[in-house]
Structure 1
């Protein structure tokens, strides 16, 4: 495990991710992180809203599937705006 973090490529990637440097790799990582968090939030919201009516597991699955539909376009738009703002 120590070899992974001492690798110069991984160290540079983690540094650019922590610095807020936007490139293709960090943008994809932020999209994946946002998608996973939205799926967790959608599952919790689905369980709270419709858990008693259609079952907790089914409502969690539907919430987790429908939540990224609104989050992914918003994240892409936000990353594009941040990229434009850092260039000007």
Structure 2
């Protein structure tokens, strides 16, 4: 574990991630974080909107699938704009 933490590439990634620099590696990590939160938010929204009508599990699955539909393109566009500036 110490070898992984003390690796110069990992140190460079961690420092650029926490400094707020947007490059390919940090952009992919931010995209993964955005996808995870959009799935969670879509599932919660599906439960709140259609939980009683469709059942909580089905509405959570459908909401989890439709949640990232709007978030992924917006996140990619936002990361491209941040990387350009």
Secondary structure of 1:52's counterpart equals helix
Q: Name 1:22's counterpart in structure 2.
A: 22
1:46 to 2:46 alignment? yes
Segments of structure 1 that go 5 or more residues without pairing to the other structure are: none
TM-score (norm 2): 0.92
Q: Name 2:77's counterpart in structure 1.
A: 77
Structure 2 distance, partners of 1:38, 1:2, is: 33
Q: Name 2:57's counterpart in structure 1.
A: 57
- Alignment length (residue pairs): 85
TM-score (norm 1): 0.89
Segments of structure 2 that go 5 or more residues without pairing to the other structure are: none
